[in-house]
Amino acid sequence: MHLPQPKTAFAVPVMAALLLSTPGSQAMPMAMSSVVSGVKALLPRSVEARGFNGMGPITLFNAVKDYLKDANAYDPSVPNKCTLFMETTDGGNCRTSIQCLQTDKAGVALPDWNVCYLNGRQFFTHPEIGDFSIQYTKAGGVDGNKEDGLHDPILRLNNLNNNEDFNVQSFIDQSEGQHGKLCEKTKNVNRGIVYKCGIPKVGTAAFGLSIFKPVDPSPGFTSGWCTMHVIQHQRNEYGIGGDYAFDVIVYDAAHKIIGLVQRQPIDAGSKTLSVTSHLPLTVGIEAKGGDGDAVVFRYGDQTWKSGDGSHQNTFGSGPRNGFEYGNREGDMGFNC
């Protein structure tokens, strides 16, 4: 049953469609701040989870070990991630590229560096992972360093604990002898050093983590064709309890985020979940049965199911009913 939400504003403002920013970069020299130590990488989750999204680099490190297990975060087969490549040659010639498809093909080059030197911090933006920066903190021959070239980059992502230091080399060192690595370092025959890391895409559930943008605080919604991105987490898998849990992002017709839940379990008795938003009615989800049974979605007098092909529904398609690495996801729409 879908009950009206009394606190929801019913005014419907006119909004332009949101535009994704194109990938770009800018630079700012900056002295290196403190880095994540090897000891910190072993902190329990209750200590590590803090700040923006409650998800920092250590959360990623633990998720790769516990969730992907024998897969690496940057492996082409791992879904919902981008692989970020950071490369230098002969102590300079900094290059950055990114691959957000499930392929082993080379990444797409990002804009050139203009601070390619020790402690120069280069800023980038990309629609799939948001704003981020890279800063090389060591160089051959400086302070007794015997490794040639620029190395030991610090990666900072706005969507991970609000730009907390992500010491790439520290996490590589912590992964020695383990399966499931977050980052990798290689050297090539052209005197180059290449680092690559798997980074979760914003708005997806990579490595069991859901990194979403917040709900737009402005009241009201643009009516028309609203859409949802839905992620279903398998029960009794990767920290989920005995009932399914869902991530749901609700967008209005202008693609403004108007509702959001993360890892929200269904009611143990009714096997349903009601998602509130800026809309006047709740969105209903019903997940009775097992992994092979349809999930039912409702808004007002509209009803559709996973796999029925209606409402532009892509949820639950593919092998194993769409489940991969403990969850499945898809998109759909409805009149609002």
Per-residue model confidence as pLDDT tens digits over 165-223: 889 998 888 877 666 888 999 988 778 899 999 998 887 777 767 677 778 889 899 99
In the predicted structure, residue 298 carries a pLDDT above the cut 70: yes
Which domain covers residue 80, as residue numbers? Answer: 31-205
Answer yes or no: is 302 within a domain: yes
Higher pLDDT, 237 or 85: 85
In the predicted structure, residue 16 carries a pLDDT above the cut 90: no
Domain count, the chain: 2
On the CB side of 31, CA atoms within 13 Å amount to 2
- Strands annotated E in 162-224: 166-167, 183-187, 192-200, 205-206, 209-210
The pLDDT value given to residue 208: 67
Domain ends where: 158, 181, 205?
A: 205
The pLDDT value given to residue 206: 75
Residue 317 pLDDT level (bands cut at 50, 70, 90): low
Residue 325 pLDDT level (bands cut at 50, 70, 90): low
In the predicted structure, residue 121 carries a pLDDT above the cut 90: yes
The pLDDT value given to residue 115: 95
Answer yes or no: is 320 within a domain: yes
The pLDDT value given to residue 33: 32
For range 19-30, the mean pLDDT: 40
The pLDDT value given to residue 238: 60
Helices (H), 56-167: 57-63
In the predicted structure, residue 254 carries a pLDDT above the cut 80: yes
pTM of the model: 0.61
Q: Are residues 61 and 119 in the same domain?
A: yes
Answer yes or no: is 8 within a domain: no
The pLDDT value given to residue 2: 35
Taking the CA atoms of 30, 43, 50 and 263 in sequence, report the sign of the dihedral they define: positive
Q: Are residues 159 and 225 in the same domain?
A: no
Dist. CA 330–CA 317, nearest whole Å = 8
For range 248-269, the mean pLDDT: 91
Residue 148 pLDDT level (bands cut at 50, 70, 90): confident
Domain ends where: 205, 233, 258?
A: 205
> What's the gap between Cα 20 and its chain centre?
16
Q: What is the CA radius of gyration of the chain?
A: 22
Q: Are residues 176 and 45 in the same domain?
A: yes
Question: Please, what is the average pLDDT of the chain?
Answer: 77
In the chain, the percentage of residues whose pLDDT exceeds 90 is 38
Dist. CA 163–CA 154, nearest whole Å = 10
Dist. CA 65–CA 54, nearest whole Å = 18
The pLDDT value given to residue 17: 25
* Three-class DSSP category at 205: strand
In the predicted structure, residue 34 carries a pLDDT above the cut 50: no
Answer yes or no: is 223 within a domain: yes
Helices (H), 99-149: none
Token representation of residue 70 = 């024998």
pLDDT tens digits, one per residue of 233-248? 877 766 677 888 888 9
Domain ends where: 181, 205, 229?
A: 205
Q: Are residues 153 and 230 in the same domain?
A: no
> What's the gap between Cα 333 and its chain centre?
22
**Which residues on neighbouring strands pair with residue 227, listed in sequence order?**
251, 333
Q: Are residues 172 and 238 in the same domain?
A: no
